[in-house]
Homo-oligomer: A and B are copies of this chain.
Amino acid sequence: MRDVADRAGVGMMTVSRVLNGTARVSEETSRRVYSALEELNYRPNHLARALRGFRSNSIGLIVPYLYDPFFASCAHAISAVARQHACSVLLTTTNESPEAELEECRQLLRRQIDGLILIPAGSGRSLLGSPEFAGTPIVAIDRPVPRSRFDRVLVQNQQGACQAVQHLIEHGHRRICFIGLRPEVYTIQTRLAGYEQAIEAAGLKSETFFHGEDAQATFEFLRQLHARRDGPTAIFAANGLSSRHALHAIGLLGISVPDQMAFIGFDDFELADVLHPALSVVRQPVERIGQEAAEMLFARLAGDTSSSSQPRKLMLPVELVLRRSCGCHNDHP
């Protein structure tokens, strides 16, 4: 910057002013500065800017896994919004470990991020209560952080699950099985509540299987289910992973969908309509979740009253996408 100033025959301050438009500079000098910038192809140093005491213009993003399409799509949307705000994204992954989450969060603070978007590790317990994070706006996605001051963007898990199960009931099913991951995971828990709400309203009996993250266990469970005479005639799978494992097992066992077993999953995915039969699912507005979360964060960063106001809570609607696995459109098999 010194070099640029010398070359243009001005002081460093003038260069700074030209770059930021902080104050008026005469046509003549600003032209000289611009050409000097060109010739030395000068690049401002964001780090120094940040150090000077203002914003670093970067936010943190913490996700459990990136290879989960749901998280990845959120991250993509967040990255896009951040760019619009001339803001960089520092990405880290936790593999669902609260300890890693805490450590990564600290690292991000050391890097002077202005704010943080977080998909909390799924264990239910969170180590982020510590006051060391009090100064940083944080938005939680997909899962809330219990008893925290963090803003949150969630979806209507309970309503979505309830609606899906009701739909199965309308198809005439009276024995419907819920398959999910560990019940400590918030989303599973909430979707279970929706399932039970629908089951109870119809006066039916609930039947559940957890540990859908274990492919082998899921297979065993479905094998026994299939052997029973009075076994369920429909399955509601509470997330993408348990859907996959259940469908895999169903395929191996030669169970026909939806005739012998109707199926609705939670979470849409690219190949859902390529499957045979095409899968009915509860779809989350994935991109919008990331987008809203990012915009919520930037709103915080813009507002100066940030610390005083209440946590914002946004709950986005889900959509029941009816394809064929639930029994709909089954006229041309």
Contact = CB atoms under 8 A, between A and B. Distances in A.
Most buried by B among A69, A76, A275, A278: A76
A83 interface: yes
A67 to B, nearest CB: 4
A67 B65 CA distance: 12
Interface residues on chain A, size class: 35 or more
Nearest to A287: B67
Interface string A37-67: 0000101111110110000101001000111
Contact of A69 (B72, B80, B107, B273): B72
A2 to B, nearest CB: 15
Copy number of this protein in the oligomer?
Answer: 2
Interface in A137-173: none
Contacts of A106: 43
B75 A91 contact: yes
A311 B242 CA distance: 44
The SS class assigned to the A binding surface is helix
A112 interface: yes
A132 interface: yes
Interface in A60-110: 61, 65-67, 69, 72-73, 75-76, 79-80, 83, 88-93, 104, 106-110
B88 A107 contact: yes
Given A275-B274, A276-B251, A66 B79 contact: yes
Contacts of A28: none
Contacts of A273: 248
Contacts of A107: 88
Interface of A: 41, 43-48, 50-51, 56, 58, 61, 65-67, 69, 72-73, 75-76, 79-80, 83, 88-93, 104, 106-112, 132, 244, 247-248, 251, 269-271, 273-276, 278
Given A45-B51, A48-B51, A248-B273, 4 more contacts: A46-B111, A88-B107, A89-B92, A274-B275
